[in-house]
């Protein structure tokens, strides 16, 4: 996948992105004196200074509005293209506030330095990270505006003691689609974000699964923060035979999003969601639920149905504002309310309980499929 992101993909029709821009706060390290009123023409917005743009975001009342420097938006674009600059490790915060390495990407700088799951991350470039939110730790690991090749020094602790390693960041593929088989006859497709090529990858996974005797498909959208709407629609097309996916009005223009014909409508399908399922992932979930194509299992989704339009300012910085809200095929607006699963598994039950319930539901669907 190319590291250069084609601008046409960032300007879908009205320049629309559905999502929290793939948790861009963690990716870029930031979200972004007179202010134009909300709805001021784009040509006027293009002449804003950085300070005025930030002021507009703060005063607009648009909770999804954001301002990005040119460097920050380049990182967002890179993420939407399914790539990121980093060292190839995942961290989680333990109950005592310590960040622990949970996974290491094969072939990454972290793997080359012998970093292993279970090690505790103590410092990043000399800064203590104990007690910091994971998003802040990720921002430190990736850097703000840096490119591949930049160094970052980590202090790690494991059974053998404490050590310091200096890694050089690389441009890595995000691996936003993962295929596995958590139970006999079950094919799970995990989609972590809707970046460039995800729709094709899901369709490829279904082709790989075609003809395989089994229970069905588990589409795991837990923690999916959204992304590119056309990739979500293409993913919906993999499971539908044409018809509506969603609709929205942006600046007075009505737009219908429609699935391509010829998708797999026969294989039993369960969609697994949670409170981290956002935006484009909610759009897909709502379409499959409303169309009767899937049973949705898990906890209520995040509740972001806003449509953003990015406007590039004179210095290359970007002002992003909400221009509309989408609705599911049945007319539901998930913004602020989320999507309610058909079968609810409370978050307190844990992720394994939700997965087990989803597999049980698939077993039941398979038993009723002719």
Residue 119 lies in a domain: yes
Residue 304 known to be catalytic: yes
Question: What pLDDT was estimated at residue 3?
Answer: 26
Question: What pLDDT was estimated at residue 147?
Answer: 64
Residue 311 lies in a domain: no
Q: 256 and 350 share a domain?
A: yes
Residue ranges making up the domain that contains 283:
177-305+328-368
The SS3 of residue 75 is helix
Residue 61 lies in a domain: yes
Q: 249 and 234 share a domain?
A: yes
C-alpha 287: how far from its chain's center? 18
Q: 115 and 198 share a domain?
A: no
Question: What pLDDT was estimated at residue 191?
Answer: 92
Q: For residue 351, how many C-alpha atoms fall within 13 Å in the half-sphere facing its CB? A: 8
Q: 63 and 100 share a domain?
A: no
Is-contact 162 144, C-beta < 8 A? no
Domains in the chain, number: 3
Question: What pLDDT was estimated at residue 172?
Answer: 82
Q: Length of the chain, please?
A: 370
Residue corresponding to tokens 């906890």:
299
Q: Where are the alpha helices (DSSP H) in 210-319?
A: 229-237, 280-290
The answer for residues whose C-beta is within 8 angstroms of residue 128's C-beta and 6 or more apart is 122
d(CA 153, CA 143): 12
Q: 225 and 340 share a domain?
A: yes
Q: 117 and 199 share a domain?
A: no
Residue 73 lies in a domain: yes
Domain boundary among 116, 140, 173: 173
- Regions of the chain where pLDDT drops below 70: 1-49, 82, 93-95, 134-135, 144-148, 211, 213, 368-370
Tell me the CATH number at 114. 2.30.42.10
Q: 158 and 212 share a domain?
A: no
Residue 290 known to be catalytic: yes
d(CA 340, CA 298): 9
The answer for residues whose C-beta is within 8 angstroms of residue 266's C-beta and 6 or more apart is 369
Q: Which of 290, 299, 317, 335 is catalytic?
A: 290
pTM (predicted TM-score): 0.70
Q: Which two tokens stand for residue 16?
A: 């629309």
Q: 301 and 212 share a domain?
A: yes
Domain boundary among 83, 109, 142: 83
Q: 201 and 336 share a domain?
A: yes
Question: What pLDDT was estimated at residue 331?
Answer: 95
Question: What pLDDT was estimated at residue 368?
Answer: 66
Q: Which of 60, 108, 192, 279 is catalytic?
A: 279
Domain boundary among 60, 83, 106: 83
Q: 97 and 43 share a domain?
A: no
Tell me the CATH number at 205. 3.90.226.10
Q: 213 and 282 share a domain?
A: yes
Residue 279 known to be catalytic: yes
Q: Which of 99, 192, 220, 304 is catalytic?
A: 304
Q: 181 and 199 share a domain?
A: yes
Residue 1 lies in a domain: no
């Amino acid at each position: 996948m190319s590291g250069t992101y084609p601008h046409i993909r960032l300007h879908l029709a009205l320049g629309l992105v559905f999502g929290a821009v793939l948790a861009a706060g963690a990716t870029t390290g930031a979200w972004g004196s007179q202010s134009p009123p909300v709805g001021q023409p784009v040509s006027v917005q293009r002449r804003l200074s950085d300070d005025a743009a930030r002021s507009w975001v703060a005063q607009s009342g648009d909770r999804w509005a954001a301002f990005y420097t040119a460097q920050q938006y380049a990182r967002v674009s890179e993420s939407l293209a399914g790539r990121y600059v980093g060292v190839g490790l995942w961290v989680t915060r333990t109950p005592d506030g310590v960040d622990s390495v949970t996974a290491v990407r094969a072939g990454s700088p972290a793997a080359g330095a012998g970093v292993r799951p279970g090690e505790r991350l103590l410092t990043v470039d000399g800064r203590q990270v104990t007690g910091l939110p994971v998003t802040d730790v990720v921002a430190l690991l990736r850097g703000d505006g840096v490119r591949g090749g930049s160094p970052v020094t980590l202090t790690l602790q494991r059974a053998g003691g404490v050590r310091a390693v200096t890694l050089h960041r690389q441009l890595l593929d995000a691996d936003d689609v993962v295929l596995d088989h958590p139970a006999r006859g079950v094919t799970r497709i995990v989609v972590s974000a809707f970046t460039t090529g995800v729709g094709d990858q899901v369709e490829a996974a279904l082709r790989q699964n075609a003809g395989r005797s089994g229970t069905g498909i588990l589409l795991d959208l837990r923690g999916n923060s959204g992304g590119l709407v056309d990739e979500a629609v293409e993913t919906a097309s993999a499971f539908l035979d044409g018809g509506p996916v969603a609709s929205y009005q942006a600046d007075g223009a009505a737009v219908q999003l429609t699935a391509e014909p010829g998708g797999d409508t026969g294989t039993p399908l369960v969609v697994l969601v949670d409170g981290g399922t956002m935006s484009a992932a909610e759009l897909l979930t709502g379409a499959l639920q409303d169309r009767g194509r899937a049973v949705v299992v898990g906890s209520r989704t995040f509740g972001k149905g806003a449509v953003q339009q990015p406007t590039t300012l004179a210095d290359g910085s970007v002002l992003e504002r909400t221009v509309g809200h989408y609705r599911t095929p049945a007319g539901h607006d998930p913004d602020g309310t989320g999507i309610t699963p058909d079968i609810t598994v409370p978050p307190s039950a844990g992720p394994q309980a939700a997965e087990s319930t989803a597999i049980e539901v698939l077993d039941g669907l398979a038993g009723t499929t002719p």
